[in-house]
Amino acid sequence: MSLPGTEEIVVPDTVEELLRDEDIRPDRPWIVIVWNDPVNLMDYVVLVFQKVFGYSRAKATRLMLQVHNEGRSVVSNGTREKCEIDVARLHGFGLWATLQKDDAP
């Protein structure tokens, strides 16, 4: 029983009860895709991948060759905010990059 002008508060006994109506599935990660372009030299793209992501020369070269041969490569993943920053940094170096939700389960 509550006093007039007050509200009774019911506290759930478990976390599951508390979150019952909320979607608690983890958000799919986002990915950053670099697209092939006719402007940037391959050595330059390798250098950018090393500088922006700290990748080894071997990994940066492998990703650059994937961009060159397949037209695109996933170069980074994470939260939307992190991927937006990565895309902006790549744009700052003149690369064509986009982000999207990862389709992998």
**DSSP strand pairing (72-78 vs 30-35):** antiparallel
Mean pLDDT of 92-104: 93
Helices (H), 1-105: 15-18, 42-53, 57-70, 80-92
Is the model's pTM score more than 0.75?
no
Start-to-end CA span in the chain (Å): 49
pLDDT digits (tens, 9 = 90+) for 39-78: 999 999 999 999 999 999 999 999 999 999 999 999 999 9
Give the pLDDT mean for 94-98. 98
Q: How far is residue 17's CA from residue 100's CA, in Å, rounded to a whole number? A: 33
